Structure 1
Amino acid sequence: MDIRALRYFAEVVNCGGFSRASAVLHVTQPAISRAVRLLEEELGVRLLIRDPKTVKPTREGEVVYRHAAQMLRQVRQLTSELTDMKSELKGELRVGLPPLVGSTFFSDVIAQFRREYPGVDLHIAEFFSSHLEQALDDGEIDIAAAMLPVDLERFVVQRFAADRLMFVVNPGHEISSCTAMRILALKTHPLVTFTKDFKLCGLIEDACRAQGFVPSTVGRSSHLDLVLAMVASGMGITVLPRSVIERTNIRQFVAVPIVKPAIRFELALVRPRQSYISQGCKAWLELAAGALGFQISDSFICQAGAGTLIPDR
């Protein structure tokens, strides 16, 4: 079976069409169509349904896509392992970072990695925490930073930070003089927050529901600057991780700890249990550990044997 044909087919499914897949793959559309047609003939099944506006996999196509994703991931791991056998550090490393986590914790790590390992093609993919697990499963990224919890049956984690949530308000706001405030403040004060793709939003909403109410959300954005602009305009108050407040220049606002209960969470680097850890990935881990002050656990860098799971104890 032609690996290239599987790659073309998988990209057509990912993009929902031949023309978009052609742009991503830098391969002509007729060449992709021909490869997919030959794959259908080899397997004896129809793989795609071609509608006027999109292309979708058939039921048989969904099965082939699932196996193709696994095979392509194995090919990438094979290439990484062979590359690592050479003396100079080269290859490709794909890191998934949620927007807030990436800008808060990893901007210096990215810059240092590019300086020290120019031979490694570093790709930073911005994924919301809610999408990271699927991206890791699909082999789109090699390692990711995420808010815990994640599925420990599928992933190994390396914790790198503990965090808590705090209110952020204008200096003139009535709770700006408080030393601490309960989440119940959102019962009477409108909330400005991020889009629902952010795992942070679920954390806030769950905390409010536990107190018997749903917050009144008056504005959402996927950009921190716009969220803070809405707070500055007086639309409402927001909730941010302490790490973001400490590492971001937002001195014109007042941060008030949330208590009774304090809303805490952990951040971790995450990788699939059955995955090859390239030398580039190990270099990334070492730089991150130095910058963020954590010690890399043996369980996180233990390699998976063929068909075995990595112990997480």
Structure 2
Amino acid sequence: MDKLDLRPFYLFVRVAEAGSFSKAAAMLSVGQPELSRTIKDLEKRYDVQLLHRNGRGVSLTEAGEQLMGHAQGLLRNLMQVDHELSAVRGAPSGNVTIGVPPLFGHVLNFDLIRRMHSEYPKVSLVFMEGFTTDFLEWLAKGSLDLAVMYNPPSISTLLAEHLRDDRLCLVGVPGSLEFQPGSEIAFKTLTALPLVMPPKPHRLRAAVDSAAKEANVVLRIDVEATGTATILDLVRGRIGYTILPQSLVEEDAGNERLHAWPLADPKITPRLFLVTSMQRPMTVAAKCAIDHVRKIFAVRPW
């Protein structure tokens, strides 16, 4: 096998990702015999078994896991070379995959798409919603170029850039509480209020549950939902109240469609970060997207 032939490594990665030869063959429009022969050639070359084969498909052996990491890194590096040389010839191009919390997409996605399409029309944005645990796994695997998340854990392989501090507020329809909109209210005020909240393991839910325990308050969670739009629609429909970062509801509060009351005793101030992996080379397109994320948070009146 030619030492410079990268196709076997590409096919190996696709088979491992698909979990079966038949699925990989269908996705790649390649015959199963060719895929099987390619994997056997790799196993012969390195004198190790790379895949466990069973009736349900294939899974990686320990040696396969090692080769998978190296092969994915090699393919990513080649893609970066392609993107950077394309950028030298002209405008940046390629895909940029961005992790955005379910509650935050409506705040960031549209603005970022508009900016990137205007300045870098050859760059395609791919948004992936998930929780912090998902983003950490996807960053480690190289599935994400960047992620926006609240309070990421300190991990040596990640670079976390602070974007802004936020404040958790109780959110409800005008006239539903006697307090003036914008005034602080104690956490104990939440006792017996019907709440619409994101489900566990969402970090916002974890922060609220922790504060409730600290304040010795039993929360009444009537409905669970992940998307900001869904949660706010339910609140506007008087299904209940919710607890959200102030930045997510300032437009509605400014238009008097909703009222927001910052929570105190305890005060909850989540910090928002832009997170990237230091183990993955950054493409020119991803650098452009990161620059615009910074600009969005610098100019929005949060």
Task: Report if aligned partners of 1:130, 1:199 keep a CA contact under 8 Å in 2.
Answer: no
Q: Which moved more, 1:79-88 or 1:171-180?
A: 171-180
Q: How does 1:78-89 map to 2 (within 5 A)?
A: 78-89=81-92
Give the drift of 1:239.
0.8
Task: Report if aligned partners of 2:212, 2:219 keep a CA contact under 8 Å in 1.
Answer: yes
The one of 97, 107, 111 equivalent to 1:108 is 111
Query: For residues 15 and 168 of structure 1, do their structure 2 counterparts lie closer, same or farther at Cα, with a shift above 3 Å needed?
Result: farther
The alignment covers a number of residue pairs equal to: 293
Task: Report if aligned partners of 1:190, 1:217 keep a CA contact under 8 Å in 2.
Answer: yes
TM-score, normalised on structure 1? 0.79
SS at match of 1:85: helix
Query: For residues 230 and 287 of structure 1, do their structure 2 counterparts lie closer, same or farther at Cα, with a shift above 3 Å needed?
Result: closer
Amino acid at match of 1:131: D
What is the aligned-residue RMSD (CA, Å)? 3.0
Query: For residues 132 and 119 of structure 1, do their structure 2 counterparts lie closer, same or farther at Cα, with a shift above 3 Å needed?
Result: same
1:253 aligns with 2:253: no
**CA shift digits 1:208-265 (9 cap, x unpaired):** 2333456343321222233234445555421111111014588443322111222112
Query: For residues 278 and 61 of structure 1, do their structure 2 counterparts lie closer, same or farther at Cα, with a shift above 3 Å needed?
Result: closer
The one of 6, 13, 16 equivalent to 1:10 is 13
Task: Report if aligned partners of 1:169, 1:176 keep a CA contact under 8 Å in 2.
Answer: no
1:127 aligns with 2:147: no
The one of 56, 61, 71 equivalent to 1:58 is 61
The one of 222, 244, 248 equivalent to 2:226 is 222
What is the rounded CA distance, in whole Å, between the counterparts of 2:297 and 2:240 in structure 1?
A: 32
TM-score, normalised on structure 2? 0.81
Q: How does 1:188-267 map to 2 (within 5 A)?
A: 188-212=192-216, 215-232=219-236, 234-247=238-251, 251-267=256-272
Q: How does 1:83-98 map to 2 (within 5 A)?
A: 83-98=86-101
The one of 271, 274, 279 equivalent to 2:276 is 271
Query: For residues 84 and 127 of structure 1, do their structure 2 counterparts lie closer, same or farther at Cα, with a shift above 3 Å needed?
Result: farther
Name stretches of at least 5 consecutive residues in structure 1 with no aligned partner. Answer: 295-313
Q: How does 1:293-308 map to 2 (within 5 A)?
A: 293=298
Query: For residues 226 and 290 of structure 1, do their structure 2 counterparts lie closer, same or farther at Cα, with a shift above 3 Å needed?
Result: closer
Task: Report if aligned partners of 1:182, 1:259 keep a CA contact under 8 Å in 2.
Answer: yes
SS at match of 1:66: helix
Query: For residues 183 and 11 of structure 1, do their structure 2 counterparts lie closer, same or farther at Cα, with a shift above 3 Å needed?
Result: farther
SS at match of 1:56: strand
Task: Report if aligned partners of 1:83, 1:91 keep a CA contact under 8 Å in 2.
Answer: no
Q: Which moved more, 1:205-214 or 1:247-256?
A: 247-256
Task: Report if aligned partners of 2:185, 2:264 keep a CA contact under 8 Å in 1.
Answer: yes
Amino acid at match of 1:27: S
Task: Report if aligned partners of 1:47, 1:58 keep a CA contact under 8 Å in 2.
Answer: yes
Amino acid at match of 1:41: K
The one of 179, 184, 201 equivalent to 1:180 is 184
Task: Report if aligned partners of 1:205, 1:214 keep a CA contact under 8 Å in 2.
Answer: no
Residue number in structure 2 paired with 1:307: none
1:77 aligns with 2:80: yes
How high is the sequence identity, in percent, across the aligned residues? 27
Give the drift of 1:152.
4.7
**CA shift digits 1:44-78 (9 cap, x unpaired):** 33322344445322333333333333333333333
Amino acid at match of 1:226: T
The one of 28, 31, 39 equivalent to 2:30 is 28
What is the rounded CA distance, in whole Å, between the counterparts of 2:211 and 2:20 in structure 1?
A: 42
What is the rounded CA distance, in whole Å, between the counterparts of 1:66 and 1:257 in structure 2?
A: 46
Task: Report if aligned partners of 2:104, 2:228 keep a CA contact under 8 Å in 1.
Answer: no
What is the rounded CA distance, in whole Å, between the counterparts of 1:64 and 1:218 in structure 2?
A: 48
Residue number in structure 2 paired with 1:288: 293
Query: For residues 12 and 123 of structure 1, do their structure 2 counterparts lie closer, same or farther at Cα, with a shift above 3 Å needed?
Result: same
